Structure 1
Amino acid sequence: MKLFGTSGIRMRNLSPKIAYKVGSALVSLGYEDIVIAKDTRTTGKLIESAIIAGILNSGGEVTKIGIAPTPVLGFNSREYDAGVMITASHNPPEYNGIKMFNKNGVAFNKYEEEKIERVIFDNNLKYVNWNEVGEVFDDSKAIKRYRDFILNNVDLEKSYNVVVDCANGAGCLVSPYLLADLNCKVISLNSHIDGRFSGRLPEPDEKNLKETMKVVEALGYIGIAHDGDADRAVIIDEKGRLADFDKILALFCNYIVEKTKTKKIVTTIDASMIIDEILDGKAEVIRTKVGDVFVAEKMLEEGAVFGGEPSGTWIHGDIHLTPDGILTGLRVLEMLDYYDEKLYKLLDRLPSYFNIREKLPCKEEDKVKVINYIIEKGEEVFKTKPETVDGVRFNLEDGWILIRPSGTEEFIRIRVEAKSREKAEELLDKGVKLVKEALKV
């Protein structure tokens, strides 16, 4: 059994028994001073109590922040051995999860997560006597420290009109207030705490943001929408359109390269070729596996100041290393200052390519076989050498195809991007055929 997926632990009706063991395992592995926060989910207190019990019973100490966004937890982790965030991010309300952060604000990697699993499954948990049980402390200043830090690192010349939609999540406590601190006129939607997500579901996609987009369009404002723990942001332009994830990422990459003169940008293997085209050699585009921890670790390795995923999970390494949707919203406004232009005009100048996504059922035990087959046979099919950072990607002059195993479900995912619909459909057909062949081998 595996506890960890691509972004910590996430489960429907997450058991407090698992949470207790995770807390105990952390201390058993030497993380003895831990800070903990939770998003707004109704099971947050239950899971928090269980983790704390595990930490205390193993002799560790806990500092509670309470309800707070993931970037607040990540930022404050620097003062402790580790940080624990109780969140299922964009998942529906019946889910909850646990994500852990190191002192530098970077999420635990696969190696660190596997160590926790081994301690739990081998039952090597540490327990202490009654007189060695740890203590619990409360920190009421964690959000203020984060707000002050962000204000010291963001500078807006203009005052913007902003609609911010916090999805009834933890961003309610921070995002609208920071915008107001920077002299923006703020209209808040779904910005009261409610773990049932009564305003909208926490996934900030076009389906869930229809009403928000109508409000933004009617007002002609900029829209910022978060997921449940505010580690992501999606942007809505002045015309009420959800900014294309690839375009807004490419636009920001160009801005940060021009502003900081950095020579390296980190993104994931599923990111668009628009990034390469807009940068046009001004900076190297380095691609990693899908997942914020891979982006953050590559940024540290390469000395890059920015890394982002097309999902809206961006890491502003010149400020801090935790994915931060609140900071992303503010820095998009900084970008508008820099270009002195409406967002919709900036986006409309970028090329639009054809994107197709497909997923094919694949048992967990068959995933390695399928990917190995694609690596072996794909070069002949696509007439180019594969990139194997995460799955298999084939780059062509007028498009690319990525075939990779899902990290959370029994599927092989295919993503295609091309400059024409015909080319996109051709690439997809070839990819689907290869996967089906591999499954028969």
Structure 2
Amino acid sequence: MTGPAPLIVSVSGIRGIVGQSLTHDTVRRFAHAFAAELPMNARIVLARDTRPSGEEFAVAAAEALCAAGCHVFDLGVCATPAAKLMVLELKAQAALILTASHNPEQWNGLKLVRGDGIFLDAATGRRVEAAYHRSQRRTGDGQVETVPRDDVETRLLQRILDVVDADVIRNAGLRAAVDPCNGTGGLFVPRLLQALGVDMHLIHGEPHGRFAHEPEPVPENLIDLGRAVVDGDCHVGFAVDPDADRVALVGETGLPMGEDLTLALAVQAVTESRQGPVVTTLSTSQVVSDAALRNGCPVTLTPVGEVHVVDAMVTEGAVIGGEGNGGVILLDVDPGRDAAVGIALILQALARGGQPLSALAGKLPQYVIEKRKVSCSKQDLQRALDGLVVRYPEALQHPVQDGVKLYMDGVLRCPWIHLRPSNTEPVVRIIAESGHGEEAVELCDVAEGFLRGE
């Protein structure tokens, strides 16, 4: 029998199962540890997703932050991208967001954001973690100020409308089905679609946090959305994760699109009219790089993790970036993945292209990507990394270190395999991509065999 899932600590925060690894005391201690990293009287944004546990955890976090001398701006239930934007708008020094993103309902967590609206860098994250383990705290006399959700949403909406061709979208007569899985997307996405003149068919829109299905926006969880697209004769379906930083697509036939196509189509929509660098991660499909390169835009690959992508985007002045899990980033809107930004760009692509979503996707190169996750020890992971390098001596190893990524033909293209420890779950992720499904499966089989000692 396995024990309870441990508290997962990463550079950007923590996640755990409510009442087991994540308790009110855990939240208070981590809030105190985070406050210790900030100046006295720091202004800090506090927000949460719709999970039932979030309300009490938010009270615990606010108490700790005030006791540490922070001025807390309480946004209440709020999408992660909007909370990060409000760090900039309110000239705050940080944000603490209570969410477990795509994890199941029994999970919750804390995401920690620095003063530029970007998740913590590794060094700061390690200092906060060390302070948490020391139960470090300071004393002060802070207060809580409530910020109306309408104010938050209005600011985000205007930023999105400023960067897309809203008039073209409004005149296209589009219909979209939306499944926010009872998360924060059910609050903002309808307002966005109304502003863009899109007829919406909303399912699972009640923001009560009791998820109608598993919340990660992957194909097996998009069945209800597919039916809604067909029943509503919609042009597209959008599946949004609980804190609204990822979006997956369902085509006009009701079938899920590959999750990397969200970013690929968004990249194509932006780079058709705006040239500049594009940034994504080592685990993202080749189709995203292809979409950028065909429009003459260079591509930079980073380790997996939003903070790595955003930091590289800032350094290089990137026009767009993101992760292959449906996370689209436009720094002109907010400094991180934003489902609403992805939705607006896909609607723009449909409106300008005048073709079904499947036709737009069909113009991009077709690849097959295989993804797995395996529970294993650090020793098992190292054995697998070493074994892959020995097994494929002719493969080209990518110079960016995040586990190991090998290009099997010795050039920076498919087929490839990427093996790395997850930042958010106690597992190792295996990702392989090829022009042929059999090859991607075979590569994953080999890597999984090394992990299991076979």
- Normalising by structure 2, we get a TM-score of 0.88
Tell me how many residue pairs correspond in the alignment: 430
How far has the Cα of 1:138 moved from its partner? 0.8
Partner of 1:76: 86
Once the two structures are superposed, what CA deviation does each residue of 1:250-275 show, in whole Å capped at 9, x if it has no partner?
2322222222112x111111111223
Question: Which of 53, 78, 82 lines up with 2:63 in the alignment?
Answer: 53
Q: What corresponds to 2:13 in structure 1? A: 8
Which residue in the other structure is 1:202 paired with? 215
SS at match of 1:431: helix
SS at match of 1:71: helix
| Aligned counterparts of 1:244 and 1:163: Cα–Cα separation in 2 | 17
1:228 aligns to what SS in structure 2? coil
**In the alignment, is residue 40 of structure 1 matched against residue 46 of structure 2?**
no
Distance 1:77 1:336, change over 3 A: same
Q: For structure 2, which runs of at least 5 residues remain unmatched after alignment?
A: 1-5
Structure 1 residue 66 displacement after superposition:
1.0
Counterpart pick for 2:363 among 346, 349, 355: 349
Structure-2 change in CA distance of 1:350 and 1:176 (3 Å): same
Contact map agreement 1:171 1:228 (CA 8 A) in 2: yes
1:115 corresponds to which of 119, 127, 133: 127
| Partner in structure 1 of residue 303 of structure 2 | 289
Residue 43 (structure 2) pairs with residue 27 (structure 1): no
Q: 1:202 to 1:421 in 2, by over 3 A?
A: closer
Separation in structure 2 between the aligned mates of residue 354 and residue 148 of structure 1, nearest angstrom = 37
Q: CA 1:166–1:433 in 2, change beyond 3 Å: closer, same or farther?
A: closer
Structure 2 residue identity aligned to 1:154: V
- Deviation at residue 43 of structure 1 after TM alignment: 0.8
Return the letter of the residue paired with 1:145: R
Determine which of 275, 286, 293 is the counterpart of 2:288.
Answer: 275
The equivalent of 2:185 in structure 1 is 171
**Residues 229-378 of structure 1 mapped to structure 2, 5 A cutoff:** 229-262=243-276, 264-280=277-293, 282-368=296-382, 370-371=384-385, 373-374=386-387, 377=390
Q: Which amino acid aligns with 1:331?
A: L
Tell me the residue number matched to 2:3: none
Give the conservation status (yes or no) of the 8 Å contact 2:416–2:432. Answer: yes
Name the counterpart of 1:396.
408
What's the % identity of the aligned pairs?
Answer: 28
Kept in 2, the 8 Å contact 1:168–1:195? The answer is: yes
TM-score (norm 1): 0.90
CA deviation profile, 1:160-212 (whole Å, cap 9, x unmatched) = 21112221111121110111012111222111121222x33322222222122
Judge which range, 418-427 or 103-112, deviates more.
Answer: 418-427
1:105 corresponding residue in structure 2 = 117
Change (3 A) 1:434 1:94: closer
- Tell me if 1:138 matches 2:151: no
In the TM superposition, residue 430 of structure 1 has moved relative to its aligned partner by 4.2
**Does the C-alpha gap of structure 1 residues 64 and 395 become closer, same or farther in structure 2, counting only changes over 3 Å?**
same
Distance of 1:421 and 1:135 partners within structure 2 = 56
Q: Is the 8 A contact 2:16 2:107 kept in 1?
A: yes
Q: Is the 8 A contact 2:11 2:120 kept in 1?
A: no
Using the TM superposition, give the Cα deviation of residue 230 of structure 1 relative to its aligned residue in structure 2, in angstroms. 0.7
Whether 1:93 aligns to 2:109 is: no
Secondary structure in 1 matching 2:249 = strand
**SS state of the match for residue 182, structure 2?**
coil
Change (3 A) 1:208 1:422: closer
1:313·1:324 contact (CA, 8 Å) conserved in 2?
A: yes
The offset of 1:402, in angstroms, is: 1.3
Contact kept in structure 2, 1:23 and 1:53, CA below 8 Å = no
Q: Given residue 138 of structure 1, which amino acid in structure 2 is its aligned partner?
A: T
> After superposition, what is the alpha-carbon deviation per residue over 1:92-125, rounded to whole angstroms, capped at 9, x for unaligned?
1111111022232211122221111111222331
Report the CA distance between 1:374 and its aligned residue. 4.4
| Alpha-carbon distance, 1:426 to partner | 4.4
Alpha-carbon shift at residue 392 of structure 1 (Å): 1.1
> Deviation string for 1:389-422 (max 9, x for gaps)?
3111111345111122233445433222112244
Q: Are the counterparts in 1 of residues 14 and 111 from structure 2 also a CA contact under 8 Å?
A: yes
- Alpha-carbon distance in structure 2 between the residues aligned to 1:433 and 1:189: 41
Query: Contact 1:374/1:392 (CA < 8 Å) preserved in 2?
Result: no
> What is the CA–CA distance in structure 2 between the aligned matches of 1:252 and 1:151, rounded to whole Å?
15
Which residue of structure 2 lines up, in the alignment, with residue 154 of structure 1? Answer: 164
CA contact (8 A) 1:69 1:230 kept: yes
- Alignment of 1:213 with 2:229, yes or no, is no
From 195, 202, 205, the equivalent of 1:191 is 205
Distance of aligned partners of 1:345 and 1:33 in 2 relative to their CA distance in 1, 3 Å threshold: same
- Aligned twin of 1:66: 76
